[in-house]
A and B are shown apart, each in its own frame.
Chain A
Amino acid sequence: MNAETIFAALTALDDALVLEAERHTFQKKRLWPRVAAAAAALALVVTAAGVGTGRIRLPGLGSSGHNANGDLYQSYEGPVFPLTAVGDASGVTTERTTTFDFSPYEQTEKSYVNGKGEIVTYHAYRAEAIVTDAYLLTNGTDVDRTLTLLYPAALRLYDGEAYLPALTVDGAATAAEVLAGPYAGGFTAAWGSREAGTANLSEPASWETYRDLLADGSYQASALAALPDLSQPVVVYRIDDYILPADAPEAASLQFRAVVDDARVRTFSYGANSFHRDAEERLGYGNGALTGAYARPFYVFVLGGDLAGYALQGYANSGAHAGTECEIGATVTRSETTLGAALGMALDDHQARRAALDEDDASILSILPRERAVACLAEHLRAYGVLSDAPMERYFAGMLEDMMECFWVRRVIYRRLTVTIPARGSVTVAAQMLRHPSANYPGGGRDASTQGYDLVTTLGSTLTFTAQRAALVHAEEVALLENDFGFDREGGVAVVTLDPAREHYGLRVRKNAAEP
């Protein structure tokens, strides 16, 4: 026996032990208890004096959406945004009440059948809050006012429908359009790289990112803009009907090769699963799924011109190295279409494949009108992909499968509705949604047992707020750790008045019961 034997034996430990260790939160040892006690006493004095005015930030989240250590959350979900109006909303005043309902944290018993056929029960809860954001809009004028309202939410298009705010007007459900703003983040270097780069996503990590994003109104304008013109002609090469000899290698692949020597010509693919570009700018899109139930056509799209020619070459595997060539045939069909139609075809196929894998996938994307989903794909391709003048490294291959990531990235999604407020009358508009918390990853070196929720008071809103309140419901399900709001469960303070002049409020919670 040696250290390697012990190492190997540890590797073979059962899953439960290994996974438990990863998500474990250590009981913190208290260093310098006297200093900590003094700091706590000071904080109490400051809090008592200042929290009612909203001018003093409690420790922890502060007004920045940061966690108790002053660090950003590893996964920041974005704040709850306020309702806003498009155009003139003068003469209308607004009272806002935002409720965080922690009932999803309630522990429930679940069971599954393990490998031995035994029923194993376990406890589970959802670390999410139901947020109800209600607005009393009062028309102080002598004429009826019709307003176009927008309710923004930081989301991803692949988030479930339950996360999309559902709107009511005076308690009645109302239809509201879904409009998606562009990707809210940026790009950064590959993990571990010391050099600048654009190989990875850099998603918004704090509420300030959203503040900057919405500051000049251009982001909202992009979301409301008319659908883009996607009528540019595109030449499509569809490669299908593969012909393989009986003794073809099992992992054989087919490459579509072309030389693009005109800088105005851009190419991208769908259905291909490999990409090559050599020193002479020869492009190659390849497919390794040529036989059986998973064989599928692949497409090469050409925008801004056409290919001077192309060649097909079979290889023994997807490496497509010289010396591994083999005979494979295929039918290449050339056709012409538009950018919109090409992207629409790829999107429909991509969605159908996702649906086949996960039939319960009811995402926001599934209720976004198709032309808007295609516009999102086009926007990402034009802003960051091969149709951009400066494509991100992340999308260098021009594969539309990579661009479908636009449905995973964070953005602000707006719900648009129109309401008429009678002269000297009021209307209540409420948005209700499930909210993911901001959180840290288990084993990521930070406290993963707590979750953060935050709110911005007036950011991006043109409404005139006369009062803002926040409330907690089912707060017994969580321990309130830090909060800027001034909630005090033990002291019976579950409803607080917010200062609209203060931009941001946050709170951090932990599930009350021990983790199952």
Chain B
Amino acid sequence: MEDSSIIALYFARDERALAETAGKYGAFCRRIADHLLAQREDAEECVNDTWHAAWMRIPPAVPQSLRAFLGRITRDLAISRLRAREADKRGGGALLAELDECVPAAEDVQRALERRELSEVIGAWLRAQTADDRALFLRRYWYGDAVRDLARERGATANGTAQRLRRLRASLRRTLEAKGAEL
């Protein structure tokens, strides 16, 4: 079913919207949840919560891309679960540990960049990368794809791919530090 028809079902408050969404985007959201949470039960609950959240948000929201909209909800829900796990000392996930390397050291940079600005800066930085690097970074840190899977797709080794990601994280950190210095 076309996305526009699925969104029409949401607007009609027709519960088939949920079945159609799950049918079309279940695998997509499950993949993100699985990769970010690495625990089946948590991932399944996260995906189910995604359908509930979509039901609550549409309307009034009219997603330009239903795919990205749902992926974004799944990520938001996954981070909440990771946070809860941290609190329970059950481990917060390797991705966050890696992203820690992008965090600028200086406190004033951190204060200067609001989330929205931060998103714009990261977007601009990504656009300045090659298409391969851009995709590599997002596939790892947006979709949570495993390094070994990315390595296979790139026709490279896992070590080489991890090294490439490390360089990208360092590059982003430098960009954020420079941007913070400007503000």
Asked if A30 meets B12 with Cβ closer than 8 Å, knowing A3-B99, A8-B115, A10-B141, the reply is: no
Assembly CA distance A17 to B128 (angstroms): 12
Cβ of A126 < 8 Å from any Cβ of B? no
Whether the Cβ atoms of B100 and A11 lie closer than 8 Å is no
B99 to A, closest residue via Cβ: A3
A296 to B, closest residue via Cβ: B14
Whether the Cβ atoms of A18 and B64 lie closer than 8 Å is no
Whether the Cβ atoms of A6 and B118 lie closer than 8 Å is yes
Whether the Cβ atoms of A21 and B122 lie closer than 8 Å is no
Cβ of B88 < 8 Å from any Cβ of A? no
Whether the Cβ atoms of A9 and B119 lie closer than 8 Å is yes
Assembly CA distance A15 to B72 (angstroms): 10
Whether the Cβ atoms of B79 and A10 lie closer than 8 Å is no
Interface string of B102-123 (1 = CB under 8 A from A): 1110000110010110110011
Cβ of A12 < 8 Å from any Cβ of B? yes
Which of B12, B30, B118 interacts with A9 by CB under 8 Å? B118
A193 to B, closest residue via Cβ: B40
Assembly CA distance A4 to B149 (angstroms): 24
Whether the Cβ atoms of B68 and A11 lie closer than 8 Å is no
Which residues of chain A are near B67, meaning CB under 8 Å?
A: 19
Which residues of chain A are near B100, meaning CB under 8 Å?
A: 2-3
Whether the Cβ atoms of B126 and A13 lie closer than 8 Å is yes
B150 to A, closest residue via Cβ: A26
Cβ of A491 < 8 Å from any Cβ of B? no
Interface string of B121-133 (1 = CB under 8 A from A): 0110011000110
In the complex, how many angstroms separate the beta carbon of A292 from the nearest chain B beta carbon?
Answer: 8
Interface string of A243-285 (1 = CB under 8 A from B): 0000000000000000000000000000001000000000000
B117 to A, closest residue via Cβ: A9
Asked if A18 meets B71 with Cβ closer than 8 Å, knowing A3-B96, A3-B100, the reply is: yes
In the complex, how many angstroms separate the beta carbon of B181 from the nearest chain A beta carbon?
Answer: 14
Cβ of B138 < 8 Å from any Cβ of A? yes
Cβ of A142 < 8 Å from any Cβ of B? no
In the complex, how many angstroms separate the beta carbon of A394 from the nearest chain B beta carbon?
Answer: 12
A274 to B, closest residue via Cβ: B15
Cβ of B13 < 8 Å from any Cβ of A? yes
Cβ of A115 < 8 Å from any Cβ of B? yes
A402 to B, closest residue via Cβ: B19
In the complex, how many angstroms separate the beta carbon of A74 from the nearest chain B beta carbon?
Answer: 10
Which residues of chain B are near A28, meaning CB under 8 Å?
A: 154-155
Asked if A358 meets B142 with Cβ closer than 8 Å, knowing A9-B119, A10-B122, A12-B116, the reply is: no
Which residues of chain B are near A115, meaning CB under 8 Å?
A: 64
In the complex, how many angstroms separate the beta carbon of B118 from the nearest chain A beta carbon?
Answer: 4
In the complex, how many angstroms separate the beta carbon of A13 from the nearest chain B beta carbon?
Answer: 5
Chain A 386-425 interface residues, beta-carbon cutoff 8 Å to B: 401
Whether the Cβ atoms of B136 and A26 lie closer than 8 Å is yes
Whether the Cβ atoms of A17 and B123 lie closer than 8 Å is yes
Cβ of A288 < 8 Å from any Cβ of B? yes
Whether the Cβ atoms of A21 and B142 lie closer than 8 Å is yes
Cβ of B53 < 8 Å from any Cβ of A? no
Interface string of A364-385 (1 = CB under 8 A from B): 0000000000000000000000
Whether the Cβ atoms of B135 and A24 lie closer than 8 Å is yes
Whether the Cβ atoms of A294 and B12 lie closer than 8 Å is yes
Asked if A445 meets B149 with Cβ closer than 8 Å, knowing A21-B134, A26-B135, the reply is: yes
Which one of A7, A29, A358, A443 has the highest number of Cβ atoms from chain B below 10 Å of its Cβ? Answer: A7
Interface string of B68-80 (1 = CB under 8 A from A): 1001100110010
Asked if A14 meets B143 with Cβ closer than 8 Å, knowing A21-B138, A28-B155, A273-B15, the reply is: no
Cβ of B156 < 8 Å from any Cβ of A? yes
Asked if A9 meets B122 with Cβ closer than 8 Å, knowing A3-B97, A21-B135, A273-B15, the reply is: yes
Which of B13, B68, B115 interacts with A5 by CB under 8 Å? B115
B65 to A, closest residue via Cβ: A15
Which of B16, B27, B141, B153 interacts with A191 by CB under 8 Å? B27
Cβ of A20 < 8 Å from any Cβ of B? yes
Whether the Cβ atoms of B79 and A8 lie closer than 8 Å is yes
Asked if A11 meets B75 with Cβ closer than 8 Å, knowing A6-B99, A294-B12, the reply is: yes
Which of B109, B110, B138, B149 interacts with A17 by CB under 8 Å? B138
Which of B103, B134, B142 interacts with A1 by CB under 8 Å? B103
Which residues of chain B are near A348, meaning CB under 8 Å?
A: none
Which residues of chain A are near B102, meaning CB under 8 Å?
A: 3, 6
Q: What are 29 pairs between A and B in contact, CB < 8 Å? A: A1-B103, A1-B110, A3-B98, A3-B100, A4-B96, A5-B103, A6-B99, A6-B118, A7-B99, A7-B141, A9-B118, A9-B119, A10-B119, A10-B142, A11-B72, A11-B142, A12-B115, A17-B123, A26-B136, A26-B153, A27-B154, A30-B155, A192-B44, A294-B12, A357-B8, A357-B9, A358-B1, A445-B145, A445-B149
Supplied contacts A1-B103, A21-B142, 11 more A-B pairs, CB within 8 Å: A1-B113, A3-B97, A3-B102, A7-B99, A7-B141, A15-B65, A17-B127, A22-B143, A26-B132, A29-B160, A31-B156
- Residues of A at the B interface (CB closer than 8 Å) are 1-15, 17-22, 24, 26-31, 115, 191-192, 273, 288-289, 294, 357-358, 401, 443, 445
- Residues of B at the A interface (CB closer than 8 Å) are 1-2, 5, 8-9, 12-16, 26-28, 30-31, 40, 44, 64-65, 67-68, 71-72, 75-76, 79, 83, 95-100, 102-104, 109-110, 113, 115-116, 118-119, 122-123, 126-127, 131-132, 134-139, 141-143, 145, 149, 152-157, 160
| Closest 8 A/B residue pairs (Cβ) | A28-B155, A21-B138, A24-B135, A1-B110, A3-B99, A9-B118, A15-B68, A12-B119
